[in-house]
Amino acid sequence: MNDVRAPQGPAVDITQLVHVARQPIFDAQGLVVGYELLFRGRLDDVEASQRDTSATSQVIVTAFTEFGLPEVVRDRLCFINMTREFLVGDLTLPIGPEQVVLEVLESITIDDEVLAGVTALAEAGYRIALDDFVWGLGHDRLFSLASYVKLDMLDGDLSRLEETIAVCRQYPQIQLVAERLETDAHVAMAEKYGCELRQGYALSRPHVLTTSTLSASKMRRLELLALLHSADTDMDKVSQLICTDPALAMRVLRASNSAAAGLPQRLSSVPQAVVLLGIARIRQWAALMIASEVTGASEEQLTEALIRARFCHRLAPEFKVPPETAFLLGLLTGVADLLGMPRADMAEQMPLADDLAAALRGDGSPLERVLQAVEAYENGTIPQLSSSSDLTGLGAAYLDMLRWSNRLLTDVQP
């Protein structure tokens, strides 16, 4: 059998580690009611190195599409710092209000545009928190919209603490969060003033969560964003473009399973995820991925995963299984191999239909046999396969897949 696979160059690591820190927020009884999610550029960062739009975007993308909200905060509230761009609608939030608390940073000027934006977010069901509240900055204009006011017990202006608390108590919906509690005296102060919630090193330090992920391609995001914003968006083209980049496909699948998406269906293909999420939601995620500035992998490193996926698609009719489902199976196994992740773990982490998850676990079904046929060719063990299906001509088919992947990757170049 002729080996028509692309020549292998030096191995290139196309994975990266992504991090997000979470710091618990406790009630007066010491129970965790929520977590504040914080940007961390590195595992050993003690403090956040950024609090800008990029940091906020990366926290959202990482928490919702790399880990998944249930893993990060379970059923608790999720506090996320917001910048002006998100509050006024320049960047759309792709997450729903069910578990999310939007923190208005003390550095944001509360002008009429911000007031209107926060009003709209509150009316949409988002909880609002005023972070590090300080008199004289105009954030008291948001008291009627706020669910939480956070008071800095370490570096805040404690001379006006009683005044602040007295005013906040005029708004029954506001809960006070005593933050930056670093000593027993700070904790005692939170108790003295009846702060409903507490946060700080004296109670618990931030814990950094880390996972390995494929580097997402900025080029893909730009191309996808342009396509999504065209006058006549073609859903098939959107699906095709997403399928050319395993990282994008993974994020779309994970986004569709996040608590924000609210979709009851189990997924069996990338096109199904695109349809279920809808153009508007995918447009929001694409914009946020661009803002997060996570750079992409080289095109050469994507070829093998793409060929496997397309090869599974091509052979699916021989085994009487849906081609799109076979494509996704091939793509997911390629991604799992790149990440060094057991396929059974992939089945547990992804929102997959039962037959697809079972095939990843190795159930011996016709769907898994499609994958076995492709991998047998990759490994040069075709004779070991059952002869019940016509698998002749795989060399020519594999060459077709190689040409297809190269052409597809070239076609989406900006």
Cα gap 293→8, rounded to integer Å: 29
User: Are both 239 and 195 inside the same structural domain?
Assistant: no
Identify the bridge partners of residue 103 per DSSP, sorted by sequence position.
Answer: 81, 129
pLDDT at 128: 97
CA angle 393–397–399, rounded 5-degree value: 120
CA-based Rg of the chain, rounded to a whole angstrom?
25
Q: Give the least confident one: 22-36, 54-68, 151-165, 321-335.
A: 54-68
How many C-beta atoms lie closer than 10 Å to residue 317's C-beta?
Answer: 13
Mean pLDDT across the chain, nearest whole number? 75
- Beta strands 148-152 and 15-27: pairing type? unpaired
Which residues form the domain of 56?
A: 18-210
Q: Looking at residue 324, which CATH number applies to its domain?
A: 1.10.3210.10
Q: Phi and psi of 330, rounded to 5°? A: -60, -40
pLDDT category at 404 given cuts 50, 70, 90 is low
Q: Which residue type does 239 have? A: S
DSSP assignment letter at 100: E
Residues 6+ apart with CB under 8 A from 76: 32, 33, 34, 35, 99
Specify whether the CB–CB gap between 279 and 237 falls below 8 A: no
User: Are both 187 and 329 inside the same structural domain?
Assistant: no
Does the structure show a pLDDT above 50 at 411? no
Cα gap 44→66, rounded to integer Å: 19
Cα gap 369→390, rounded to integer Å: 13
Query: Where a domain ends, among 180, 210, 240?
Result: 210
User: Are both 206 and 239 inside the same structural domain?
Assistant: no
Cα gap 412→305, rounded to integer Å: 17
Q: Looking at residue 126, which CATH number applies to its domain?
A: 3.20.20.450
At 34-92, the pLDDT tens digits run 999 887 654 444 444 444 555 666 777 677 766 777 778 888 999 998 888 789 886 67
pLDDT at 310: 78
Residues 6+ apart with CB under 8 A from 73: 22, 34, 35, 37, 99
At 244-283, the pLDDT tens digits run 667 677 777 776 665 345 556 666 777 877 777 777 677 6
The residue behind tokens 């956070």 is 150
Q: Phi and psi of 81, rounded to 5°? A: -65, 135
Could you give the 3-state DSSP secondary structure of residue 151? strand
- Beta strands 175-179 and 148-152: pairing type? parallel
User: Are both 171 and 267 inside the same structural domain?
Assistant: no
Q: Is the pTM of this model over 0.95?
A: no
How many C-beta atoms lie closer than 10 Å to residue 188's C-beta?
Answer: 11
Give domain status of residue 29, yes or no. Answer: yes
Cα gap 357→382, rounded to integer Å: 25
Cα gap 161→155, rounded to integer Å: 12
Identify the bridge partners of residue 104 per DSSP, sorted by sequence position.
Answer: 82, 130
pLDDT category at 393 given cuts 50, 70, 90 is low
Query: Where a domain ends, among 190, 210, 230?
Result: 210
In the chain, the number of structural domains is 2
What's the longest Cα–Cα distance across the chain?
Answer: 83
Q: What is the mean pLDDT of residues 91-96?
A: 75
How many C-beta atoms lie closer than 10 Å to residue 407's C-beta?
Answer: 9
Give domain status of residue 148, yes or no. Answer: yes
Dihedral angle sign, alpha carbons of residues 292, 217, 245, 374: negative
